[in-house]
Structure 1
Amino acid sequence: MCTVIVHVPEVAGDPVRLLAVRDEDPGRAWDALGESWPEAYPGVIGVRDRRAGGAWLAADPAAGRVAVILNRADQIPDDGAPLDSRGHVVLDAIAGTRPSGSPRTHGFNLVEADAQGARVIMWDGDGVRTVALESGIHMIAHDDVDDPATARITAWRSAFAAPGPGERWYEPWLDTLERTSAVGPVDDRAIVRDNRPFGYPTLTLLACAASIDAAGARVLYGEFDEPGAWNRLSLR
């Protein structure tokens, strides 16, 4: 039940910005942002899932490409055959291969961003759909883009203003994220979350901020001190 906020600029050439907030089982080990696949994906950085070897978020800084994946409900029939890890969908996207057909994975929302804009590729077990994001602020969680049925999107999308210039453009978004935490981690509107009351063993663990333009992609990373609890992140 991760959350991604994306700003697509109105002026061509201005950077695309995103803030990705990750929910996962704290007991599932991961590697912090870094070059975790030097042989298979040289130059690619990401947040690596140690169990399956894929990525939650990955970026090719030189190419100016970022991708992050969010789980969503699906309609995959249980035929007993093993499913592929969704984390490898992220690495494929960074390498230039987008999902198509009927991916052999559980459902996902794949957010892709580059200097030309951003898009969300959605797979729910019924079909793959792609939505190109128009200029402005967008939020993605476990349903469709800007879905009004998702409580946190309805509550907070308008609270995230278009980011300003400068290297610390993300600070006002962290201010907004702090304000959202006032509802508490088990409120359906929460972005920094404890999903256990909803039947999932996941809590908010970390966040990444990314800025992408013609010069490339810059990604910053920070972990919360305690899963599912807000503290001011120091992104590096």
Structure 2
Amino acid sequence: MLAVRDEDPTRPWDAPGPWWPDEYPEVIGVRDRRANGAWLAEDSPAGRLAVILNRDVLSVPDGSLESRGGIVLASVSGESLPQRPRTAGFNLVEVAGPRAWVTIWDGLRLRRQQLEPGVHMISHDEVDDPRTARIVRWLPDYREITQRQGPEMAFEQWAHQWVAVLSASSALGPFDDRAIIRDNHPHGYPTMSLLVCVAEIRAERVQLASAVLPEPGVWAEAPFVLA
């Protein structure tokens, strides 16, 4: 998995670490300090990882919303989602060993689909959505790498090649609809790309590395640190 975190750079957060020792002693994740939830988290001994993406919804009940970061911590710990989450909309990607799912909450109903073997890409809409410009532009490149090299590439090998595609995508600039590393201010959101994570999930362990972008919304070769 390759995941890019877009967030308001003024909102405080922490890179992957064991930030929940009492409630979730085996969990390592990217913590949102304000709500104490997680954008991405993994439980390595259980072979689980979850990451959440915001999803626009037409309306949500005022004053009754909980943080989406709690959904990630519950998921990676093996807890079931409520049928009507008290959160704004989301796309939740869950991986447990060789299996992966995407759960979509649009504020009205919860949909869950198991992903077929292969390479997939998701942002704020549907899986492999042809309406999302960055998916149309870059998903074929990620699929071609895996088809050419085979699914048994070593972690360092596939991560290097996938990050190379990410680097190439930055030539578009952060305001382009096709960009993966983004500055979303022109689209009406105060979010910018801040962090890149790569992870390999197996039944017996999770290997996770992350790199903080030196400047929000701008790609630069930054060292990846194993969690």
Q: State TM-score, norm by structure 2.
A: 0.93
1:65 maps to 48
From 69, 73, 98, the equivalent of 1:87 is 69
Instruction: Check if 1:36 corresponds to 2:19.
Output: yes
Aligned equivalents of 1:216, 1:63: Cα separation in 2: 7
2:40/2:52 contact within 8 Å kept:
yes
> Where do 1:13-24 residues align within 5 Å?
18-24=1-7
2:111 maps to 129
Aligned equivalents of 1:191, 1:24: Cα separation in 2: 13
1:227 maps to 216
CA RMSD of aligned residues (A): 1.2
> Where do 1:78-117 residues align within 5 Å?
78=61, 80-117=62-99
1:174 maps to 163
2:98/2:201 contact within 8 Å kept:
no
Aligned equivalents of 1:67, 1:49: Cα separation in 2: 15
Shift of 1:110: 0.3
Bigger RCO of structures 1 and 2 (CA < 8 A, at least 6 apart): 1
Shift of 1:164: 5.2
Q: State TM-score, norm by structure 1.
A: 0.89
Range 37-46 or range 161-170, more displaced:
161-170
Instruction: Check if 1:188 corresponds to 2:167.
Output: no
| Cα displacement string for residues 117-162 of structure 1 (whole angstroms, at most 9, x for unaligned residues) | 1110000012100111111110010001000001100111001122
Shift of 1:115: 1.0
| Cα displacement string for residues 183-222 of structure 1 (whole angstroms, at most 9, x for unaligned residues) | 1100000000000000000000001111011321111111
Aligned equivalents of 1:58, 1:77: Cα separation in 2: 26
Aligned equivalents of 2:60, 2:75: Cα separation in 1: 25
Aligned equivalents of 1:40, 1:128: Cα separation in 2: 26
Contiguous gaps of at least 5 residues in structure 2: none
2:28/2:41 contact within 8 Å kept:
yes
Aligned equivalents of 2:208, 2:182: Cα separation in 1: 23
Aligned equivalents of 1:198, 1:94: Cα separation in 2: 31
Shift of 1:102: 1.2
Aligned equivalents of 2:177, 2:171: Cα separation in 1: 12
Identity, % of aligned pairs? 51
1:27 maps to 10
1:140 maps to 122
1:75/1:126 contact within 8 Å kept:
no
1:70/1:142 contact within 8 Å kept:
yes
Instruction: Check if 1:212 corresponds to 2:201.
Output: yes
Letter in 1 for 2:4: V
Aligned equivalents of 2:129, 2:79: Cα separation in 1: 26
